[in-house]
Amino acid sequence: MRPRRLILALGTRLLGAALHLAAAVPPLAVVLRRRASRALQSGDCLFLCHGNLNRSAFAAAFARQLYPDWHIGEAGTRASADAPSSQLAVATAVKWKVDLSAHRATQLDALLPREFPAIFAFDARNLIELALSHPRALRRTHLLGWLAQQSAPEIADPHGGSASSYERAFAAIASALQGAERQ
């Protein structure tokens, strides 16, 4: 196994376990939720996932509806440039009045993270990939799931899954963004 893949695999498992442990410690979870909420209220944020096909695409489109005056970006750490969202993602997003039919993936590059004071990722893998490519951006990075007031801060990638996996992911994203709007 190549060193980068090994770091990604081990780091994702270790960080994932640490995130679930943090969620189980109420004072720590409260601090992380408040930190994420303050970051979102900055008004400029980047949503970052693996392929920029599902979670970050939906989050950015939904956030633009909630916060039309904000500068909102989206990208994938391993996105295939200009790849469209899946038909299942497009169909599921309609339930939240989000149109992903024209969406095309954007690859995270060296300049994109610098444009945003707040970056929102969805799981441990996204955080590890960001740490490997843009370590300075980690200080401004949060898990979007912290805003959902749910027990687990990670929002699973529905890519390649069933319609219900897309519905769960998009519902968690909508809940996080709507919850932050009320705070």
| 3-class state of residue 143 by DSSP | strand
The enclosing H or E element of 87 equals helix 87-93
Q: Tell me the per-residue pLDDT of 40-63, one tens digit each, with 9 for 90 and over.
A: 988 899 999 999 999 999 999 999
As to burial, measured by CB atoms within 10 angstroms (0-12 exposed, 13-18 middle, 19+ buried), residue 128 is buried
Q: What are phi and psi of 149, to 5 degrees?
A: 60, 30
Q: Tell me the per-residue pLDDT of 128-173, one tens digit each, with 9 for 90 and over.
A: 999 988 999 999 999 999 998 666 799 999 999 999 999 999 999 9
Domains of the chain in start order, with CATH, are 3-182 (3.40.50.2300)
Please answer whether residues 142 and 35 qualify as being in contact, where contact means their C-beta atoms are separated by less than 8 angstroms: yes
Q: What is the pTM of this model?
A: 0.91
Token couple for 4: 């980068």
Q: Tell me the per-residue pLDDT of 59-116, one tens digit each, with 9 for 90 and over.
A: 999 999 999 999 999 999 999 989 999 999 999 999 999 999 999 999 998 667 888 9
